[in-house]
Amino acid sequence: MSSAAAIYPVEGVLLVSIRDDITDTDIVDLQDALSERIADESANGVVLDISGLEIVDTFVGRVLAQLTSIARLLDAETFVVGMRPAVAMTLVELGMYLPENRTALSLTHALAKMRQMRDE
């Protein structure tokens, strides 16, 4: 796996940090690696930190939605955090509202929300 994306285990969830220079191949690799990790560590949550991402296209948008669906099949809730205003506007412009994805402002918010969900 390349350095364009890294997976860290935090509080029983997997934090995925995506850098701006991520390529399409990297994303496909990431999808692979992440599915393995979720299954191996039976993580119950995934946080995709895309605060480093400045440019998105439909491919990235689709992969974000796919990662969420994959994680859900493996019984893990996914949060997308740190989306930049420009990225949000672009995705909406492209018609990708990502209805499947849960979103949060930051990692802290996402972890709090996950804890809350678990408690309920």
Partner 1 sequence: MPPSALENVLDILKTDQDGVLAGWIEVADEEGVKRSDLFSEREGREQAASLLKAFRNGISERTDKDDFDIQAEHWADLRGVLGEITHERVERGVQPSEMAGFVLALKGPLFSRLKERLAKKPEQLVEEILIASKAIDAFAIYTNEVFIAEREAVIERQREEMMELSTPVVELWSKVLTLPLIGTLDSLRAQEVMENLLQAIVHYQAEVVILDITGVQTVDTQVAQHLIRTAAAVRLMGAKCIISGISPKIAQTMVQLGVDVGEVRTRSTIRTALTDALLTVGYAITPIKNHQEGTLV
Binding site for partner 1 (CB under 8 A): 80-85, 87-89, 91-92, 97-99, 101, 103-106, 109-110
Nearest distance, CB of residue 32 and partner 1, angstroms: 25
| Nearest residue (CB) to partner 1, 38 versus 83 | 83
Nearest distance, CB of residue 39 and partner 1, angstroms: 27
- The secondary structure of residue 31, as a DSSP letter, is H
Nearest distance, CB of residue 40 and partner 1, angstroms: 28
The residues near 99 (Cβ < 8 Å, ≥ 6 apart) are: none
CB 113 within 8 A of CB 102: yes
| Nearest residue (CB) to partner 1, 32 versus 100 | 100
Helix axes 24-41, 58-73, angle to 10 degrees: 10
